[in-house]
Structure 1
Amino acid sequence: MTAAGEEVRAYPFGPVDRLDLDPTLVQVCGERPVLRVRLPFGGDGWLVTRHADVKTVLSDPRFSRAAAAGAHVPRTVAVPPPLTSIMGMDPPDHSRLRRRVMRSFTVRSIDALRPRIRETVNGLVDTMTAAGGPVDLAAVLTWPLPITVICEMLGVPPADQDRFTEWVDGLLILDDPEQSAWAREQLGDYLEDLIAQRRAAPTDDLLGELASDNEKDPLSDEELVSLGVSLLSAGQEATANQIGNFVYTLLTQPGLWQQLVDEPSLIPDAVEELSRFIPISATAGFTRIATEDLELNGQLIRAGDAVVAELGMANRDSEVFERPEEIDFHRGQIPHLTFGHGIHHCLGAQLARVELCVVLETLVARLPGLRLAVPADQLSWRTERLIRGVAALPVTW
């Protein structure tokens, strides 16, 4: 029971429906922005939904990620990140690992990849147009692109990219601990072998640079494996699904696609607005544990309490965004939280932005007549996943 005597509700409140926010979530959390809930694994925690509160949870050091790494901690995912994962660390351990990898993900470094990303997208669109419509955009573009880019960055041979897609896909299943653990083990074993090769014969790819022992504080094999798993899962699953989600949204809301065809210069702003509007995660994010008693939006959070943040709700907060339920490519600066906030802000945010921009730029230029090849209500969706997305996206032009 809560302090007010209310029954603790099981979260999520209902099944994921395409890219829609759960109406029960909207109603309940509109009344109680910090709500006690029963999470799918490990017990009860606090669900936080307001933009300002979510920013606090994501950035205040009193909400610890490292303390949430245990198997019995309340959480929304079947398998918590391992203790060696950068996603499950606090400073100074987190700072040490992030500092080593961050130089490969700066705006300048990622912008240097733009020509290669554009070349890859054009090659995939060439294959797509040669086949003639209709084609499944998810199969021919949205999934191949991100795995190609992140594998090239890491130095994974092209022949192994299909296996990586399967492993990353298995890693992010919400309700199957065995499948998720198997996928993590497969990824880890493969990366261990690849790291051993880089140790023996250094290369100039990202994994080769990270494996270099020329640093004052070299990374262990375990740390390198964990970083590789994190980069692959973030660089593949989220971006691939968002490409499909963006195109689906543009083609199913009247006038949005045509706006970008008529004014391609809007695409960077469109990427930010679509990132805000589309709730990419099926549930609230990774658990944090309060390390001391504190108050959040009038609610007392006790030391040891679990807290999860609902980014999709925070991105629709009417106190921050005017007309939050509308997609408006002219909002200007958009302080959305899709890529997180604070020290765990997504390392690959700039890479995702560039990939999304290049895909939209290429499609509106080469296929301005792009449209769904089936009614929207006939599309199938990937369910029971941490990341929302279409299973297939048949299009023609």
Structure 2
Amino acid sequence: MQMMGALKQRVGKWLLERTMKDGIDLRKLRFLPDPITMPLKRDGLDPLPAMAEVRSEAPVTKLATLFGKGVWLVSGYDEARTALADPTSYSNDIGQFVSQEGRSDEEQIGGLGMTDPPLHTALRRYLTPEFTMRRLARLEPEIERVVTERLDAMEAAGPQVDLVKEFAFPVPFQVICELLGLPVEDRERFYELGVARFDLAEGGAGVFGAAAHTREFLIKAVAAQRAEPGDGLIGGLLKEHGDHLDDLTLGGIADGVFLGGYETSASMLALSAYLLAENPDAMTMLRDDPASVDRVVEELLRHLTVVQLAFVRFAKVDVELGGQHIKAGDAVGISLLGANRDPRLAGDRPDDFDPHRDPTRHLAFGHGMHRCVGAELARMELRIALRALANRFPDLQVTARRSDLEFRKLSAVYGVEELPVDLYGARDRAQLTS
């Protein structure tokens, strides 16, 4: 073990030295140093105990030095809100640290979460009208149809099914395809790409490679619709702004929507179902008390916080945050999970899932100008899907011990690979508490 550890250190040192010699390019980073991965690791649904320890000692703490720059973790709620709402001191432009030379159009870095004003302002201006409550209302019947269809399919396949495969993945995938106006071919491949977009086990290389494939698909979809725009978001933007948006730009916008609305919603549905199965009181609230649905959903969002980290920010100037001096050029990672489990937000028992908790000003969708533009669509999906699940299968039970479930190891979006359930709770719950 010591020999393997020493070898890993030598390889890591060589990689960093070469990367610095060639110029900072995150695509070349094949793995992340252990201290940096701490915010991406969990114990089941909870943060590692180290997260609470770090937050209580220093809600802003330096994790490592990489490429000669500090790497900081913000885990406190107040400090996270401050940093998220400050575009003056921080940049989201990750492109400055990723070489674009020799890259194809599909491999270029972009998207709302990784851009600064004025480009961010211009891109978001195109999207915001598509996510008003009035526009989203047209999707509600489609969401209800998709959910009912998937519940019927689960019932036909049951009583024991994989809820991830049969429900959590297909619902948001079909909804996002409907929203964008995309055909629904190649679902399995898209599923693999969606997971890979957030899997940091291979460092930056795997993430950027997966991103190129999804962008390539969406750029081609835009080109195909330019002559005959469809009824979805892509077609709508082509009709209204087609003269101003080329295929690459609009493909990037579509990719951002796909990125934000697919894998995140799938993970939320799967983990929410797991948590509801373990908390019959919450399941009953969803089924019998329509007025409680928003309360339960908001607590699920806070407690699970499947988007574990906000997009990395880079200090544009020297800045003070949480009593720490962050130098210009340093990277700042904001743990949305750590912030949402801060007692300053959630009181004395922040790690408890409490469906009766008054809704909090959680950061599950971020905050400030980079707050998720599709937040209300995500809430709509969760309300419809989880209430329907509770009504159809009120005795739903997970048929695997928590220790046997395969949770994501290093992923910016946390989730579970499979969730075996019995739709009617046939197994003895007492056998599954370990």
TM over 0.5: yes
Distance 2:342 2:190 in 1: 37
Report the counterpart of residue 300 of structure 2 in structure 1. Answer: 274
The alpha carbon displacement at 1:67 in A equals 4.0
1:69 aligns with 2:95: yes
Q: What is the aligned counterpart of 2:166 among 118, 125, 140?
A: 140
Measure the CA separation in 1 of the matches of 2:280 and 2:136: 33
Alignment match of 1:193 (pick from 204, 207, 220): 220
Give distance in 1, aligned partners of 2:67 and 2:305: 22
Q: Is the 8 A contact 1:49 1:309 kept in 2?
A: yes
Q: How many residues align?
A: 381
Match of 1:296 in 2: 321
Contact 1:19-1:280 within 8 A present in 2 as well: no
Structure 1 residue 344: deviation in Å? 0.5
Structure 1: 4+ residue segments shifted above 6 A: 39-42
Secondary structure, in 3 states, of the residue corresponding to 1:60? coil
Of residues 418, 422, 428, the one that matches 1:392 is: 418
Task: For 2:171, give the aligned amino acid.
Answer: L
Shift of 1:32: 0.9
1:23 match: 49
TM-superposed deviation, 1:314: 0.8
Deviation (angstroms), 1:319: 1.9
Q: CA deviation at 1:382?
A: 2.9
Deviations 1:350-386 (A, max 9, x none): 1111111111110111111211123333322233322
Q: Residues of 1 paired with 2:299 and 2:65: CA distance? A: 30
The match for 1:156 is 182
More helix by share: 2
Query: Could you tell me which residue of structure 2 aligns to residue 171 of structure 1?
Result: 197
In structure 2, what is the Cα distance between the partners aligned to 1:351 and 1:193?
25
Cα distance between partner residues in 2 of 1:71 and 1:276: 31
Q: CA deviation at 1:394?
A: 1.2
Do the aligned partners of residues 42 and 115 (structure 1) sit closer, same or farther apart at CA in structure 2, a change above 3 Å counting?
farther
SS in 2 for 1:108: helix
308-317 or 319-328, larger mean C-alpha shift: 319-328
Within 2, Cα distance between the matches of 1:13 and 1:196?
Answer: 41
Query: Which SS does the other structure have where 1:239 is aligned?
Result: helix
Structure 1 counterpart SS, 2:216:
helix
Q: 1:342 to 1:125 in 2, by over 3 A?
A: same
Distance 2:208 2:317 in 1: 32
Moved more, 106-115 or 19-28: 106-115
Where in structure 2 are the equivalents of 1:219-298 lying within 5 Å? Answer: 219-253=245-279, 255-282=281-308, 284-298=309-323
Q: Deviations over 1:262-316 (max 9, x none)?
A: 434312111101111113145x332112222222122222222221111111112
Query: In the aligned structure 2, how far is the partner of 1:39 from the partner of 1:175?
Result: 19
TM-superposed CA distance for 1:178, in Å, is 4.1
**Residues 222-244 of structure 1 deviation map (CA, whole Å, 9 limit, x = unaligned):** 21121122111211111101111
Matches of 1:170 and 1:332, distance apart in 2: 35
Deviations 1:316-371 (A, max 9, x none): 22223223223233333420001000111001111111111111110111111211
SS of match in other structure, 2:345: coil
The one-letter code sitting in structure 2 at the alignment partner of 1:112 is: R
The whole-number CA distance in structure 2 between the counterparts of 1:262 and 1:242 is 22
DSSP-derived class of the 2:117 partner: coil
Q: 1:381 aligns to what?
A: 407
Structure 2: tracts of 5 or more residues without a match: 1-32, 100-106, 425-434
1:356 partnered with 2:382:
yes
Q: Tell me, yes or no, if the aligned pair for 1:260 and 1:364 is still in contact at 8 Å.
A: yes
The whole-number CA distance in structure 2 between the counterparts of 1:72 and 1:160 is 29
For residues 95 and 67 of structure 1, the distance between their equivalents in structure 2, rounded to whole angstroms, comes to: 13
Measured after TM superposition, the shift of residue 24 of structure 1 is: 1.1
- 1:306 aligns with 331
> Please, what TM-score do these two structures have when normalized by structure 1?
0.88
Cα deviation, 1:73-100, whole Å, max 9, x if unaligned, reads 9xxxxxxx95432211112211111110
Shift of 1:66: 4.0
CA distance in structure 2 between the partners assigned to 1:289 and 1:330 by the alignment: 38
* Structure 2 residue matching 1:319: 3-state secondary structure: helix
Counterparts of 2:314 and 2:196, CA distance in 1: 27
User: Counterpart in 2 of 1:116?
Assistant: 142
Task: Confirm or deny: 8 A CA contact 1:42 1:72 kept in the other structure.
Answer: no
**1:137-177 per-position Cα deviation (integer Å, ceiling 9, x unaligned):** 11100000111000111111122333322222222221324
Tell me how far apart the structure 2 counterparts of residues 327 and 171 of structure 1 sit (CA, whole Å).
Answer: 28
Where does the alignment leave 5 or more consecutive residues of structure 1 unmatched? Answer: 1-7, 74-80
Label 1:144 to 1:165 Cα distance change in 2 as closer, same or farther (>3 A).
Answer: same
1:204 is aligned to: 231
Return the letter of the residue paired with 1:350: E
Q: Using a 3 Å threshold, how does the CA distance of structure 1 residues 116 and 162 change in structure 2: closer, same or farther?
A: same
CA distance in 2, matches of 1:32, 1:377: 31
